[in-house]
Structure 1
Amino acid sequence: MEQTKSGRAEPHYYSYRLKHKLDKLRFAPATVVEAPSGYGKTTAIRDFLQNSLPQGTPVYWFTAMDEKPSAGFRRLCREIEKIDSYAGERLVKIGLPNIGTIGEATEALRSAQCKHETYLVIDNFQFLQDAPCPPLFFLRLLEHGGQGLHVIIVTQMLKRDTLAIVASHGVLHITATDMRLSAGDISRYYALANVKITPEDAQDVERYTEGWIIAIYLQLSAFLETGTFSDKPGILALMDHLVWNKLTEAQQIFLLHLSPFEIVSVQQACSLIGCDTLPEYALDALRSPFIRYDPAERQYEVHSILIRTPDSKAR
C-alpha cells in the first residue's frame, strides 16, 4: 500500500519512491529537500514528522522569510537555543557570521549538544542562502555536533556552491525527481478523491504536468468540477482559471493586499484591509488549500504559487 494521508481540504499522496526516501530521514543527521515551488516539500515533511515519529518527539520548525539577513539569522538562533541553550546564545551574540566571525560561529554549531532524538526543520532555506553568510556555516549546519539531532533543510533550488556541499558530504538529498508522480501514482492519488480515470487519462495528466503535484491537484479540481481536464497551458493559467477567477472581487482585492507577504498574522491581515476583525469573505478566501493557518502563532502561510497568481493578474 502507498502511504497516504487524508487532510480536510484534499488527500495527500506519496509515491513508493518518496516514501522510501523519507524513511531514511530518521537515520540521517542532515537532510536536504530541494525542489521548485509547488512540489509539496513542506507538506511531505510535515506529514512525515506528524505520522512517523514517536509521540512527544521534539520538532522545531523555522520558516525563513524575505527579511533582513540579520533578523532571519537571529530567529534561527532562537530555535537552536531551544535545542541547546548555550550554543544558541553564543550564536545570538555572534550575530550573522562574516569572514571575521565564521570560525566562532561554526564552533558554536559543532559544540551543540542534543542527546535525544530531535528535529530542526529549516523551511524556505532559499532566503538564507542569499544572505551574506559564508558557505562554511551551511556546511557546519549539516555537520552539527548534536548526537540525536536531525537537521532538515527544505528549499527551492540551491545555488551551485551550496549544491556542491550537499553532493560532496553524503547528505540525504530528496529532489524533485523523488517527488514527481508517475501515471500510476496519479491514478492512485485520484482514487483517494473517489475519481477513477483511465490509464490513458493518467498518462495524459503526467505528460501535461510532468508529475508536478500542484498541477496534478489543479487538474483534479478541474475534473471534479467539470468532468474533464483543463487544457489551460501553464500553472499560473491553471491557477487563474481554477482558483483566482472563482473568487469574488472583494476576495481578490483582499489577497492582493496579502500578496507581498508569504507569512502574515491575523492582526496584520486586519490592518491591511483596515478592520478590527476579518470579515467573512476574507475568512472564506483564507480557507484555500494554498494557505495554511498556524493556530499557535495565529498566522497564515501563503503558498508562493498563490502569491504569484494575483501578481501576474495585476501585470
Structure 2
Amino acid sequence: MNQYKNLNSLFEEFYKKENVILDSEMKNHVYFRVGGPADILLIPESKEQVIKTIKICREKSIPFYVVGNGSNLLVKDGGIRGVVIKLNELKNIRVDGDILEAECGAMLKDISNEALKNSLTGLEFSCGIPGTVGGAVFMNAGAYNGEIADVIESAEVINDKNEVVVLSKEELELGYRSSIVMKKNYVVLSARFKLQKAEYDKIKETVDDLTRRREEKQPLEYPSAGSTFKRPEGYYAGKLIQDAGLKGYSIGGAAVSEKHSGFVINKGGATAKDIIDLIKHIQKEVKDKFGVELHPEVRILGED
C-alpha cells in the first residue's frame, strides 16, 4: 500500500501534473531494468523545484532519494517508500573559455561531446559513462585512468541544512568512488569543470579509441549497472571473479558476463533479488578463495 499517495498534492502545486507519478515502476528508470514501484516519482525541471521539494520532504519527514539516469543503481523488488526525485531534465550545459558548467542531469557523454566541440580536453574519459553529472560528482566517477576529481573546479549543492552552497574541489573531498556529497547525503545541482584547450582531432581520436575499447570489452548488449564492484586495492575485481571460476555463473536471470567478469548483467527476466544474491555469492567465493573483500560499486535502494 502506498502510504504517501495522499501527499502528491503537496507537489502538484508547483509541478506539472505529468511530472508527479504515483507507483512508478523503477525498472523503467534504471539500467538494470529491475525494481519495484516508487510511491511518488517527481521529475523537476528547475533547480528551484528541487530545492523546494527537498525542503518539503525534510520538513514533513518524508523519505526521499535523488537519482539521475539510473545507470549505477539497483532498486529492490519491493520498490521505494517515499519520494524519488529524478533529475535528468536539468541538463543545461554552458562553455565559457576553458570552463564547462553543467546542470546535474546533463549526461556525461553530452558534456564530453560539448568539450570536444569546443576543442577542450580533460573529459574524454567520461565519453562512455552512461551517468549524469550529479551522479558522477556523488561517486567521483571515472574510467580509463581519468576521474571527475581530475577536472572539477567546484559543485553547487544542497547541503543537509537545505542551503545552496558552492563547494570547491578540496571541499568536495573526492576519493575513490566517494565524496562529501555521498558521505553527507548532499544533492548536486550543477558542477564546473576546468579544462584545457587542445587540438580537436587529437581529442576526437582519444574519444573514438575509448569508445571502441568500451564496445569491444563491455557487455553493452545486456542491462547492467556497469562495473558491479569497486576495484580492490592491488587487484582487479573482474580478474578475481574470473579466477574464482565464476565467468558465466548465473542465479535466475542474473549472470556474470561472459565478456567481462566485472559486470553482473540481467540476461533476461532477472529480479533484483537474483542480482543481489549473485553479488553476495561472488563476494563469498572471492573472499573464500583469495581472502579479498569485494564491495559493490552499484548503489542499492529500496526494500525487498
Alignment TM-score > 0.5, same fold: no
Structure with larger Rg: 1
Structure 2 length-normalised TM: 0.25
Structure 1 length-normalised TM: 0.25
Higher strand fraction (1 or 2): 2
